Amino acid sequence: MTDRFAAFRHLSYSRYFTSRFFTAFAAQIVSVSVAWQIYDQTQNPVYLGWIGLVQFLPALLLVFVTGLAADTFGRRLVMGLSILTETACAAGILFLAATEQFHPVWVLGILTVFGVARAFLSPASASLAVNVVPREDFANAVGWTASAWQMASIIGPVAGSLLYGVAPVIAYSTAVVLFAVAAALIFSIPKPPQSTSIEPKTLSMVLGGFTYVWKQKIVLGAISLDLFAVLLGGAVALMPVYARDILEVGETGLGLMRAAPGVGALIVTGLITAFPIRDHAGIILFACVALFGLSTVVFGHSTVAWLSILALVGVGAFDMISVYIREILLQLWTPDQVRGRVNAVNSIFLGASNELGEARAGFMAAKWGAVFTVVAGGYAAVGIAAAWSIFFPGIRKARNLHDGNPDG
């Protein structure tokens, strides 16, 4: 029988998991509070687009150094320093809220620094996971690590909206404390073993992540599928518009809407950790991306709160399966000495699909409206799933995820 808690038999992973949870929890509080406060003050969805863009650009501009830093320096050190920087950013936003200087320009400036921290955090944290659990427990750790994000995605937005309802400074203060504790937990992990490359720091080494991803077509197809599907189909950025102007449910409703995808994802996480995907992984991946798009369409058309939340539960559930498959493909099929650089490439894809997707949604909504933007994006995600099943037949034929063999 599968041991559902195998990864937690290792103390270092338990600390890592808790840190990831607190970091994601704090990030959700900041995200929902900042988005609501900016939109409530301006009623302009363009600023929602800028929130995504300023957090994505650092990851794009620093891609050649963030992964290399994770492979060259201790991944624990890079992750800890990144979380400390996020702590400082949350403290900066707290200061603006407390002194009533919450101007979009100042906030976007702080979020840019936050984006720099996340650019270094993403490859380091993803790469550290494989160094704190044995290989045989890694698939279990992937499921639990994803659940840390999803649990935070459920609790964080609701907590953030409730705390913001009391006072914005309470919400931001909570985030500061959570970030600080998360950093302390990472620094408490004993230095794990890590393979390092002995080759000189040449351009080919810096580009190693791109080279590996380009050569491994299944990995390239899997992460680019997620890139374009979420880039076009993501609706998170426009939730403040739906909460305030379409569904009229206020900041508490926004918190519930932001939490709904996490509920769906957490349900799926419980299922796939107990019953891992053993066969037909590629077909399942494409089907779930298409269903993610259709769930987005339902949300876009809905004017009833309960139906909108139910559709968002579906969005999170189907996206979680895609995340699970992609993470196993990426981590188990990547040599340890280039894992940081490959994860930096992956973080670019993730950032483009999430933050750049938010920018796309905000700018489109300012011109064509929120409903059209969300519905068109959902249908586009369905089209991407169909197209990628043709362009990348290797993914469609992928079966067993756990052997490092697409045909296993």
Q: Write out pLDDT tens, residues 313-335.
A: 999 999 888 878 877 767 666 77
pLDDT of residue 338 exceeding 60, the answer is: yes
Percent of the chain's residues with pLDDT above 90: 40
- Nearest 10 degrees: CA dihedral of 191, 345, 378, 245? 60
Q: For residue 221, give both structure tokens.
A: 């197809």
| Local structure of residue 397 (DSSP, 8 states) | H
Percent of the chain's residues with pLDDT above 70: 90
pLDDT of residue 195 exceeding 70, the answer is: no
Average pLDDT on 244-250 reads 91
Distance CA 123, CA 285 (A): 23
pLDDT for res 152: 85
pLDDT 10s digits, 365-387: 999 999 999 999 999 999 999 99
Residue 408 lies in a domain: no
pLDDT for res 407: 41
pLDDT 10s digits, 122-147: 888 877 877 788 877 777 787 788 77
Name the residue with higher pLDDT: 200 or 238.
238
Residue 167 lies in a domain: yes
pLDDT of residue 408 exceeding 60, the answer is: no
Looking at the structure of the chain, the number of domains it has is 1
pLDDT for res 198: 46
Domain extent for 180: 6-191+201-397
Least confident of 213-217, 341-345, 353-357: 341-345
Instruction: Give the total residue count for the chain.
Output: 408
pLDDT of residue 196 exceeding 70, the answer is: no
Average pLDDT on 236-265 reads 89
pLDDT for res 168: 93
The answer to pTM > 0.85 is no
Residue 237: in which H helix or E strand, if any? Answer: none
In which band, very low, low, confident or very high, does the pLDDT at 201 lie, cut at 50, 70 and 90?
A: very low
Distance CA 57, CA 61 (A): 6
Say which CATH number the domain at 370 has.
Answer: 1.20.1250.20
Residue 404 lies in a domain: no
Name the residue with higher pLDDT: 331 or 16.
16
pLDDT 10s digits, 55-108: 888 877 887 787 777 777 778 899 999 999 999 999 999 999 999 899 999 999
Residue 105 lies in a domain: yes
Q: How many alpha carbons fall within 13 Å on the CB side of residue 92?
A: 16
**C-alpha closest to that of 380 among 223, 241, 231, 222:** 231
Residue 351 lies in a domain: yes
Mean pLDDT computed over every residue of the chain: 84
Residue 218 lies in a domain: yes
